[in-house]
Amino acid sequence: MPMEQRRSGILLHISSLPSEFGIGDLGPDAYWFADFLVSARQSLWQILPLNPTDSAYQHSPYSSFSAFAGNPWLISPELLFEDGLLIKEDFQPNPEFPSSRVDYDEVVVYKGKFLDKAYERFRQNKRLRKEFRIFQRNHEHWLGDYALFVAIKESLGGVIWTDWPEELQARDREALHDFAVAFADQIERARFLQFIFFRQWERLRVYCRQRGIHLIGDMPIYVNWDSADAWANADNFKIDEHHHPVGVAGVPPDYFSETGQRWGNPVYDWTKLRASGYAWWLARIRHNLDLYDLLRIDHFRGFVQYWEIPVHEPLASSGKWVEVPTRDFLDTLKRTFNPLPVIAEDLGIITGDVREIMKEYGLPGMKVLLFAFSEDLKKHPYLPHNFEPHCVVYTGTHDNNTVRGWFENEAGPKEKENLFSYIGHEVDVKEIHWAFIELAMMSKADTAIVPMQDVLGLGQEARFNKPATTRGNWQWRMSSNAIDHDVVHRLRELTHTSARG
């Protein structure tokens, strides 16, 4: 899709959709939301990573056991029913799930029962076997290792793979064969859940495409060490002789965190990746572009320089910048994917070399309006009059407070004064979100994205994530009656006025 076209859309993760099953999923409410986008003249739907989440990592979509697999908790029981894999008797009265957040512990237990029943029926009726075989053949480059990883991990109580028996850590062929024979059913179940997930996702994607909605995915630059990717491709990372990383990723202090962030992900061995022709990266990006129309790459600056922290150092400030073979890597991507439909997440400490690379390869960056009013109103790069058209403007991101939450709880007198001066008048707190949406929509930026919480004018109780914290994140959900006629009308009219419809 052309990157220079004026357009707008909404940021809403699948888990935040309404649903009677405790978490948003790929079922009827996802189609309802797509219909809302059409009625409001939006052409983009941005989501967060779709990879599996787990309680060990607070169900963050940025901390997954796989960079390729889909999240089984997002599978729709209603679509399983339509496929004959569930029956009416399987739908017992639901627990009293919270309406405004996800209780992951309850969801995992409750939806796990649906998934077990669906797999048992699949085993018995064989109706989808041919389609299942085709899926496995098309995805075997990651699916086999993922299913084996999940089965081994479950059999050992969920421990990280570097605590597995040595022969399984080292992927001894005979040991893996023996395990696969003994746990064949658990391995097939893991494969089946991936088949169902991608089947439901593709159905939703076709529905969106037919209605002129393009999907923006999100790809974390790093993977978890506790992942099938690290276990099956350990040579892609800087590791020691005991299969442990020698350095981990993070960022130095910036406006997201005064102490920096120690993410703990293993850092890549770019020398070995280059020697392989970046085969793993090519497979990963190809896989993502099969799922989405555009791909936002989180922490893009890590392709130019990355912050490497010695694994035994507890503070991010102990790290250092390390160079990457940037042009060789991006040239390889462009030869394979041309044009390269990528949005570069360029927040945080961005140096001139990163900006030069983005300009050279035609990659749009991000402008976040919530950051724009703390400094000089003439020079700040996130103020709309300083935009170049080839960028993506956001009122805020999943890592920020909502606009209203920022205004009520974070913005100081100077920021409010700057804001009112910039737009030419004071704004009541009940209308502050529309002031930001209008700034984004009317700007020169080719693309404008608004988090759904800002469309609804919600306060900080609806914040999705607070970086450098581990509790209370990734839980917000939208209620089924949140969108009224006024929201649709105002968004549609503003989209038309700003020539983004």
345 is catalytic: yes
Check if the beta carbon of residue 479 is closer than 8 Å to that of residue 100.
yes
Q: Catalytic: which of 345, 346, 446, 454? A: 345
298 is catalytic: yes
b/e per residue 314-325 (b: at least 16 CB within 10 A): eebeebeeeebe
Pairing assessment for the beta strands 261-266 and 294-298 based on DSSP bridges: unpaired
Q: Catalytic: which of 54, 229, 298, 454? A: 298
Check if the beta carbon of residue 309 is closer than 8 Å to that of residue 254.
no
SS3 state of residue 88: helix
* Crossing angle for the helix pair 326-336 and 352-360, to the nearest 10 degrees: 20
- The string of DSSP codes covering 2-46 is -SSS-EEEEE--GGGS--TTSS--SSHHHHHHHHHHHHTT--EEE
CA dihedral 309, 314, 318, 320 (to 10 degrees): 10
Q: Catalytic: which of 229, 308, 346, 399? A: 399
Cα 75 from Cα 185, distance rounded (Å): 20
Pairing assessment for the beta strands 261-266 and 247-251 based on DSSP bridges: antiparallel
Check if the beta carbon of residue 53 is closer than 8 Å to that of residue 63.
yes
Give me the amino acid identity at 45. W
Instruction: Give the N- to C-terminal CA distance of the chain in Å, as an integer.
Output: 16
Check if the beta carbon of residue 245 is closer than 8 Å to that of residue 82.
no
CA dihedral 334, 340, 342, 348 (to 10 degrees): 30
Cα 456 from Cα 115, distance rounded (Å): 33
How many residues belong to the chain?
A: 501
Q: Show which residues are catalytic.
A: 298, 345, 399
